[in-house]
Structure 1
């Protein structure tokens, strides 16, 4: 059984990705694009709406009572270090390297 971890910080990016920090200190990258044609997330297809993400009750939420299950966020995301290793170009483009001070 996987322990349910609360999200404590989110940074939404214009490419429909989320940079997440969980209560255990782990940082993970979640690709939201595959969900953007499904209800209720289709309402967030404007990048302006998507960028309004915030943390409430341990998960990522958007205005209009739209959220996503924290288990999905954790289980379907990549650990930050794996993401940096596997996808360095994408990590740089979404600002993950700058967020962690990598390359300074």
Structure 2
């Protein structure tokens, strides 16, 4: 999923690690590609209708540490 942050950085986030393993009642339904595709932005957070929300600063920090962010071309 391509994410663009308010600081102008952008990158492709892979949800594989979040969806792998035992999972939780919020992440297991997102293994279905149609459910995962229902993602939306709610007050800056990446969210799904099942009430799972991921904080943008956490996603940004993890993606930056992994070298997945670049400055969006203008």
TM-score normalised by the chain length of structure 1: 0.55
Q: Please list every run of 5 or more consecutive structure 1 residues that lacks an aligned counterpart in the other structure.
A: 1-17, 82-99
CA RMSD of aligned residues (A): 1.8
Q: How many residues align?
A: 65
Paired with 2:44 and 2:31, the residues of 1 have a C-alpha distance of 23
Q: 1:75 Cα deviation (Å)?
A: 1.4
Q: 1:26 Cα deviation (Å)?
A: 1.3
Greater than 2 Å deviation, 4+ residue runs: none
TM-score normalised by the chain length of structure 2: 0.74
Q: 1:28 Cα deviation (Å)?
A: 1.8
Higher relative contact order (CA 8 A, sep 6+): 2
- Structure with larger Rg: 1
